[in-house]
Structure 1
């Protein structure tokens, strides 16, 4: 009959049961030796099948969710543990950049250790090259000092014979050369990779510099106010801080009317020192240029325009920054230095 399975063939069908319910049935046709055909049917209520499938799906979904969380946990542990040495390498590189260390002192994985070794060799070569360059700069600066002394003697001789104008011109030029020499010596003193452990007391260093500036013709007429705690520490070599404050206070003394104020404070892991005078200040458009070497924004003379450039060089060597702002009246020069980690 049409649609009936061939002899021995199994076929899945949906049939109505005795009570009219829908069933899922497996039908098989059988023909005996006498040619008589039989139809064997095994059926199950469709709802029972749906319930069984639903229970299977729920169990499978739960197992898959548990497996997914287990795999994610395993991946997290693998990544965390596996990449932990690389995080140590990242911290070591950051310490070198921040000049808290001179080399990558870290045990890296065997696959990465050759890279760390090559970086260390590069850092060693750079340190040697910088050391040689600074030595040459120091030798050059010291070599120029003797000719400058000779020129100073010649200037005095010219004044004695009445060549005052020529003596003034030569003295002005030698003064500019001397400041360049002092700047190179200041830069040469900064070791390659400034020590991240240098420290000094801000108030003590400031008081020493102020005492010197007070003895200058410009400083004698001024009052100085130091607002810094005895416990405030600067993450910088004492000589370098003296060089910074010396240049800032000398510049301030040239323009201040009556008062120079120095403040120091620590906030958010950073030391801030501000030198404020009550002079005419610097227009906003000229403040960036004031940090450039050899730029003079005043007409008073007596300088080479290198003071703030020297300050900027030293502060940058310690990973800090220099900023200028209007003090209303006067100029406020602020240096910010990161504290040791």
Structure 2
């Protein structure tokens, strides 16, 4: 998964979402706290103005505060809401019952005429408070400082409750954004998926080129791949043409060499003739195999198809005329309308080699079966001969190993069949039927 573009993009988006929402969460918390403090200062200002309105100097010069403040929290000891008035000349104090016997330490420079906010004023228990203070001077020159304060824990509690409600909302938002980004990435990468399917069709030989309409960012890549495929097709065609020319070019010297071998035998030089014939036979086998491989069209198209029964009947008709085939019974168990995803010439080449091998080893009969199953078409050729020992079966499927040990064969039949099956993306298996051998080829059907 670490090599997945979708996963990498989604992981990057997820990290970005988490970081962004974390920053947003801290920012929202700070703004909420700032807003709560502003609201608190606004409420404290109202209380301060009410306190100043209720404060006056008595006839004897002492401060007095009328007991008509609206907020009852000022009357509850240590409630967290406090007020205090101080005579600037005598330093005498008048304070709320909530202060009990404590005193608020007024700043040295209180706001004269205007209000001043104090954020680090200590309450009666040493707790941090938010306070507003104002100094008033009357017409007689007498002045007093009034202060109203509230425990900062009120702000902290509000912020805590806000964060408690905010975190689940941010988590839900993050999950929603992750899902949305995953969908967006999936939709954005969909053209790459269609390109992958097109490439898979080319590999599976269901198409010769990438047949896909891609976005402008991806289409140049598809065009370049198509140009590469075209160049590969031409190179394969040239290579197979040269192989065919080379194989045909060697046939004439081999025929001359066969004539020379017969001449040597006529002169009694049998040992030399056998050595030369052995070398010529090896060359001939390679030539025959290259010719068979050259007959496979470059870039076999998965659109090819043919009727299996007709191809099998044609091959068996030829094998029946051979000396060994005249002694055998041939059975074709294939539906008339069964189509195999293979070129008719290639299927005939495969069946010809398989049926010929089966006829060489069969005691009395050879059978050709074919059926369609799921995404494959399977073709089996069975005989009632001795089969192949389990220890030799794997090596018999190896490239270049001669299956026929009875003589009279080039030993390339199974190798040629294997090449054709591989070209069409199929499988070849061999199993003992007790008696006999069953060779099965499975070809993928067109998608």
Shorter-chain TM band: 0.7 to 0.9
- Secondary structure in 2 aligned to 1:287? helix
The equivalent residue for 1:89 is 195
1:246 aligns with 2:352: yes
Q: Tell me if the contact between 2:121 and 2:131 (Cα under 8 Å) persists in the aligned partners.
A: yes
Aligned pairs (5 A) from 1:18-97 = 26-33=130-137, 34=142, 36-41=144-149, 56-57=162-163, 60-61=166-167, 63-65=169-171, 67-68=173-174, 70-97=176-203
Mapped to 2, the partners of 1:169 and 1:54 lie a distance apart of: 99
Deviation at 1:137, TM superposition (A): 1.4
The equivalent residue for 2:286 is 180
- Secondary structure in 2 aligned to 1:313? helix
User: RCO (CA 8 Å, sep 6+): is it higher in 1 or 2?
Assistant: 1
Deviation at 1:39, TM superposition (A): 3.5
Deviation at 1:63, TM superposition (A): 4.7
1:234 to 310, 316, 340: 340
More moved, 73-82 vs 148-157? 148-157
The equivalent residue for 1:333 is 439
Cα distance 1:296–1:321, how it changes in 2: closer, same or farther (>3 A)? same
Q: Tell me if the contact between 2:368 and 2:379 (Cα under 8 Å) persists in the aligned partners.
A: yes
Q: CA RMSD in A?
A: 3.5
Q: Tell me if the contact between 1:200 and 1:238 (Cα under 8 Å) persists in the aligned partners.
A: yes
The equivalent residue for 2:428 is 322
- Secondary structure in 2 aligned to 1:246? helix
Deviation at 1:302, TM superposition (A): 1.1
Deviation at 1:132, TM superposition (A): 1.0
The equivalent residue for 1:127 is 233
Q: Deviations over 1:191-212 (max 9, x none)?
A: 1110111101111111111121
The equivalent residue for 1:275 is 381
Q: Tell me if the contact between 1:243 and 1:311 (Cα under 8 Å) persists in the aligned partners.
A: yes
Cα distance 1:265–1:56, how it changes in 2: closer, same or farther (>3 A)? same
Cα distance 1:172–1:29, how it changes in 2: closer, same or farther (>3 A)? closer
Q: Which runs of 5+ in 1 are unaligned?
A: 17-22
Mapped to 1, the partners of 2:444 and 2:288 lie a distance apart of: 26
Aligned residues: 332
Q: Tell me if the contact between 1:27 and 1:40 (Cα under 8 Å) persists in the aligned partners.
A: yes
Cα distance 1:45–1:331, how it changes in 2: closer, same or farther (>3 A)? closer
Mapped to 1, the partners of 2:437 and 2:275 lie a distance apart of: 30
Q: Tell me if the contact between 1:256 and 1:278 (Cα under 8 Å) persists in the aligned partners.
A: yes
**Radius of gyration: which is bigger?**
2
Mapped to 1, the partners of 2:380 and 2:166 lie a distance apart of: 69
1:225 to 307, 317, 331: 331
Mapped to 1, the partners of 2:295 and 2:280 lie a distance apart of: 22
Aligned pairs (5 A) from 1:253-268 = 253-268=359-374
